[in-house]
Amino acid sequence: MSTARTRGRASTRTRKANGAPLTEQAYQLLEERIVTLQLKPGDFLSEYALASQLRLGRTPIREALQRLAREGLVVILPRKGILVAPADPEKQLLVLEVRRELERLLSRSAAQRATP
């Protein structure tokens, strides 16, 4: 098999029609399902089931789940499975406070840089 054909095939495996890497697509889809409570706190997740539902391979799903675990949205329990993280009101309040402050700073910065 030629190198060009191999490269071309690999790129179709890592990217979909919109050009986003499959891992990023998996992350965005899973994050949206968690945030909108389609996947509820305490739900156990299966890589196989998610791969089938999202029509993606297990590798992008696994990488997306690892990123979600780093962000605290899921908990990976070795030899047990993946759990949608329980809601933490104190953490949510802290995130809201930080977000409000960032939005205020960004608004001020945008207003200062706006051209008349």
Going from N- to C-terminal start, the domains of the chain cover: 3-86
* pLDDT at residue 5 in the model: 41
* pLDDT at residue 6 in the model: 40
What is the average pLDDT across 1-7? Answer: 42
**For 67-114, what is each residue's pLDDT tens digit?**
999 999 999 999 999 999 998 888 888 888 998 999 999 999 999 998
Candidates 96, 91, 34, 19; CA nearest to 64 is 34
**For 10-52, what is each residue's pLDDT tens digit?**
443 556 656 689 999 999 999 999 999 999 999 999 999 999 9
Alpha-carbon distance of 100 to 94, in angstroms, equals 10
Alpha-carbon distance of 11 to 14, in angstroms, equals 5
**Letter for the amino acid at 98?**
V
At 18, give phi and psi (nearest 5°).
-80, -5
Pick the CATH number of 3-86 from 1.20.1250.20, 3.40.50.300, 1.10.10.10, 2.40.50.140: 1.10.10.10
